């Protein structure tokens, strides 16, 4: 490796950030840099930041401050770098470079400039870059799972969101490139691919003139990987063609991640959601009838400006009615560049938190009931870890997505080490979040 320094990466934020991290690591390794998981031993630490909401910014700032106090040389990348740019260099003398969301592929060039004594800022005003199947990648997930980005950026202008500002307009990868990367990952032994983008059901609209998700799913059906899961699928994007592709392609999991954000038409219109008032009971019921074995996950924002108790009650009733398998709830966070930050009638912080907690508590018995329905079934579980003291295993079944849903605790049969593999497990118990079972 010559005299090239060693680099550690502190990864923050979502799985989109994770893929950026993996590509930066891949490019650095290809260029001969040493990668160290120990930040204390590394010469430089790349902090891939998140800036989506206030809470994530605070985590990013805390990480940067702690590394600065430890006198580490820091390269700031990701959404906060895109957001604040040279302000970060001014605020942190320990920061040696800033790299935006559309420029992470320049990381090797940036590191060369840093070693030459510069403090470069590589931040494109309108990000256009997206990695392809030829871009080096160093995976950081567990053995059996990998994220697969099919598109980047977003063309919508939701009032609460700054993703278009941070990530640019939607740009989809060609089907051939996605399938080629999927095949590489399958050849590495990956058992589960998680398709991600900002709006997965809009995949291909920019590239092909109309969404092509159905065509992509059928093409991925030819790849020898047991599970393919989709994230960020909008309910209005489930055309008959997409539903047919899910039903007819065996390795496409019937897992529907629907970021609904609210149920009341008034709030959806204020949010400027793409479908505004169209997210009604009929859309959800139609999806449940079309995909009867579907697992339904959603996220909601409570405390949006102007949300009254009547609006919130509507949301609670909506959750009760539709019995989602998994629900995430966020308190509204005002973002400077987002229109909603200046909206009238802000909801007080204590009310936001109270509503968030109430909705999560309301969902718990529903999640418990959905999980208890699995008791007695024999399901495939992707093993992702073990407990050395008991030899018990931990993994996920098809109804649980990595990092956001529950897990399955498994009593193994024999002394096998099936890490990264699918095993059969009979479910014997359940709680509101997790399942328990015996390997069969």
What whole-number distance in Å separates Cα of residue 409 and Cα of residue 396? 8
What whole-number distance in Å separates Cα of residue 378 and Cα of residue 197? 32
Query: Is residue 316 annotated as involved in ligand binding?
Result: no
Return all residues near 328 (Cβ < 8 A) that are at least 6 apart.
297, 298, 299, 300, 404
Alpha helices, H only, 188-277: 205-208, 213-220, 240-248, 265-271
Both tokens of residue 13?
A: 């934020």
205-208 contact pairs (CB < 8 A, 24+): 205/170, 205/172, 206/151, 206/155, 206/169, 206/170, 206/171, 206/172, 207/171, 207/172, 207/173, 207/174, 208/172
Query: Is residue 154 annotated as involved in ligand binding?
Result: yes
φ, ψ of residue 277 to 5 degrees: the values are -85, 10
Query: Is residue 158 annotated as involved in ligand binding?
Result: yes
Return all residues near 420 (Cβ < 8 A) that are at least 6 apart.
142, 143, 144, 189, 191, 382, 383, 384
CA angle 381, 199, 256 (to 5 degrees): 35
What whole-number distance in Å separates Cα of residue 71 and Cα of residue 332? 35
Diameter over CA atoms, the chain: 66
- The number of beta carbons lying within 10 Å of the beta carbon of residue 387 is 10
**Contact of 55 with 25, CB cutoff 8 Å:** no
What whole-number distance in Å separates Cα of residue 77 and Cα of residue 50? 9
Residue 390 DSSP one-character state: T
**Contact of 430 with 375, CB cutoff 8 Å:** yes
What whole-number distance in Å separates Cα of residue 152 and Cα of residue 102? 10
Q: Which of 418, 395, 398, 399 minimizes the C-alpha distance to 408?
A: 395
**Contact of 10 with 46, CB cutoff 8 Å:** yes
Both tokens of residue 289?
A: 């009838």
Both tokens of residue 119?
A: 């403090």
Q: What are the binding residues for [4Fe-4S] cluster?
A: 14, 50, 79, 154, 158, 161
Binding site residue list = 14, 50, 79, 154, 158, 161
């Amino acid at each position: 490796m010559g005299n090239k320094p060693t680099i550690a990466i502190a990864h923050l934020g979502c799985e989109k950030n994770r893929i950026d991290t993996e590509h930066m690591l891949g490019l650095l390794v290809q260029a001969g840099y040493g990668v160290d998981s120990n930040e204390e031993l590394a010469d430089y630490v790349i902090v891939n930041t998140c800036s989506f909401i206030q809470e994530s910014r605070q985590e990013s700032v805390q990480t940067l401050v702690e590394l600065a106090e430890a006198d580490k040389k820091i390269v700031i990348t990701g959404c906060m770098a895109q957001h604040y740019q040279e302000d970060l260099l001014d605020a942190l003398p320990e920061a040696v470079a800033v790299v935006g969301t559309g420029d992470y592929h320049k990381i090797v060039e940036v590191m060369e400039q840093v070693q030459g004594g510069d403090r470069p800022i590589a931040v494109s005003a309108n990000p256009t870059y997206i990695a392809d199947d030829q871009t080096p990648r160093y995976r950081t997930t567990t053995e059996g799972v990998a994220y697969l980005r099919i598109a980047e950026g977003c063309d919508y202008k939701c009032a609460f969101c700054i993703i278009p500002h941070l990530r640019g307009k939607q740009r989809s990868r060609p089907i051939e490139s996605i399938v080629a990367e999927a095949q590489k990952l399958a050849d590495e032994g990956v058992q589960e691919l998680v398709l991600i983008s900002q709006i997965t059901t809009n995949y291909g609209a920019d590239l092909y003139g109309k969404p092509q998700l159905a065509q992509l799913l059928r093409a991925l059906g030819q790849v020898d990987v047991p599970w393919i899961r989709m994230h960020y699928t909008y309910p209005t994007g489930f055309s008959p063609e997409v539903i047919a592709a899910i039903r007819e392609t065996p390795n496409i999991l019937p897992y529907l991640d629907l970021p609904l954000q609210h149920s009341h038409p008034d709030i959806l219109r204020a949010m400027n959601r793409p479908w505004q008032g169209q997210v009604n009971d009929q859309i959800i019921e139609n999806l449940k009838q079309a995909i009867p074995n579907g697992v339904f996950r959603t996220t909601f924002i409570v405390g949006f400006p102007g949300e009254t108790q009547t609006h919130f009650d509507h949301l609670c009733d909506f959750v009760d009615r539709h019995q989602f398998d998994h629900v995430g709830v966020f308190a509204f966070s005002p973002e400077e560049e987002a229109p909603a930050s200046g909206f009238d009638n802000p909801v007080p912080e204590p009310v936001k938190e109270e509503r968030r907690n109430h909705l999560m508590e309301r969902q718990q018995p529903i999640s418990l009931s959905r999980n208890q329905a699995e008791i007695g079934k024999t399901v495939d579980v992707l093993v992702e870890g073990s407990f050395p003291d008991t030899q018990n295993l931990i993994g996920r079944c098809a109804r649980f997505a990595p990092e956001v849903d529950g897990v399955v605790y498994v009593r193994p049969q024999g002394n096998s080490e099936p890490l990264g593999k699918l095993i059969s497990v009979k479910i014997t118990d359940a709680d509101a979040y997790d399942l328990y079972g015996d390997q069969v």
